[in-house]
Amino acid sequence: MKEAHCHYCRKLILGVNVLEDYPDVVIFYAHTTCHRRDERTCADCNNPLQPPESMHIGPHGHVCEGCRMYYDADLNPLARIL
Protein backbone atom coordinates (compact mmCIF):
# COMPACT_ATOMS: atom_id res chain seq x y z
CA MET A 1 0.00 0.00 0.00
CA LYS A 2 1.40 3.40 -1.02
CA GLU A 3 0.95 6.59 0.97
CA ALA A 4 1.02 10.27 0.14
CA HIS A 5 0.34 13.56 1.86
CA CYS A 6 -2.62 15.85 1.21
CA HIS A 7 -1.69 18.78 -1.02
CA TYR A 8 -3.57 21.20 1.28
CA CYS A 9 -3.31 20.04 4.91
CA ARG A 10 -0.15 17.85 4.49
CA LYS A 11 -1.70 15.00 6.52
CA LEU A 12 -1.10 11.40 5.48
CA ILE A 13 -3.36 9.72 2.91
CA LEU A 14 -3.07 5.92 2.72
CA GLY A 15 -3.85 3.63 -0.20
CA VAL A 16 -3.08 5.91 -3.15
CA ASN A 17 -2.07 4.85 -6.65
CA VAL A 18 1.40 5.83 -7.82
CA LEU A 19 2.22 5.74 -11.54
CA GLU A 20 5.63 4.08 -11.38
CA ASP A 21 5.69 3.67 -15.19
CA TYR A 22 5.63 7.49 -15.54
CA PRO A 23 8.40 8.96 -13.32
CA ASP A 24 8.01 12.42 -14.88
CA VAL A 25 4.32 12.68 -13.85
CA VAL A 26 3.44 14.31 -10.53
CA ILE A 27 0.07 13.58 -8.94
CA PHE A 28 -1.32 15.86 -6.25
CA TYR A 29 -3.50 14.07 -3.71
CA ALA A 30 -6.00 15.83 -1.46
CA HIS A 31 -8.69 14.97 1.05
CA THR A 32 -12.12 15.72 -0.43
CA THR A 33 -12.91 18.20 2.35
CA CYS A 34 -9.58 19.98 1.89
CA HIS A 35 -10.11 20.22 -1.87
CA ARG A 36 -13.61 21.67 -1.47
CA ARG A 37 -12.30 24.38 0.83
CA ASP A 38 -10.81 27.41 -0.87
CA GLU A 39 -7.04 26.87 -0.88
CA ARG A 40 -6.49 30.51 0.05
CA THR A 41 -8.01 30.08 3.51
CA CYS A 42 -6.30 29.35 6.80
CA ALA A 43 -6.14 25.64 7.64
CA ASP A 44 -6.72 26.44 11.34
CA CYS A 45 -9.65 28.85 11.26
CA ASN A 46 -10.75 29.02 7.56
CA ASN A 47 -10.37 32.82 7.40
CA PRO A 48 -9.27 34.22 4.02
CA LEU A 49 -5.51 34.70 3.73
CA GLN A 50 -4.10 38.15 3.06
CA PRO A 51 -0.83 39.20 1.40
CA PRO A 52 1.89 39.78 4.02
CA GLU A 53 2.30 43.41 2.94
CA SER A 54 -1.00 44.08 4.73
CA MET A 55 0.85 43.37 8.00
CA HIS A 56 4.15 44.95 6.88
CA ILE A 57 6.20 41.73 6.99
CA GLY A 58 7.41 41.23 3.42
CA PRO A 59 6.32 40.41 -0.12
CA HIS A 60 6.04 36.58 -0.05
CA GLY A 61 3.53 34.13 1.40
CA HIS A 62 0.15 34.72 3.05
CA VAL A 63 -1.11 35.81 6.46
CA CYS A 64 -4.28 34.82 8.30
CA GLU A 65 -5.74 37.85 10.07
CA GLY A 66 -7.87 35.59 12.31
CA CYS A 67 -5.23 33.47 14.06
CA ARG A 68 -2.24 35.49 12.75
CA MET A 69 -0.50 32.49 11.15
CA TYR A 70 2.09 33.23 8.46
CA TYR A 71 2.15 30.79 5.48
CA ASP A 72 4.79 30.49 2.78
CA ALA A 73 3.93 30.72 -0.94
CA ASP A 74 3.02 26.99 -0.96
CA LEU A 75 0.62 27.47 1.99
CA ASN A 76 2.87 25.71 4.53
CA PRO A 77 2.52 27.27 8.00
CA LEU A 78 5.74 29.00 9.05
CA ALA A 79 5.07 30.99 12.20
CA ARG A 80 2.41 32.64 14.30
CA ILE A 81 2.71 36.42 14.42
CA LEU A 82 2.59 37.78 17.95
Q: Tens of pLDDT along 1-48?
A: 577 888 777 788 887 777 788 878 777 787 777 776 555 788 788 888
User: Under 8 Å CB-to-CB from 13, ≥6 apart: which residues?
Assistant: 3, 4, 5, 6, 29, 31
**Which pLDDT value is given to residue 43?**
78
**Which pLDDT value is given to residue 1?**
54
With 0.85 as the threshold, say if the pTM is over it. Answer: no
User: Under 8 Å CB-to-CB from 82, ≥6 apart: which residues?
Assistant: 68
69 has pLDDT over 60 = yes
Provide the 3-class DSSP secondary structure of residue 40: coil
How far apart (Å, rounded) are the C-alpha atoms in residues 35 and 6?
A: 9
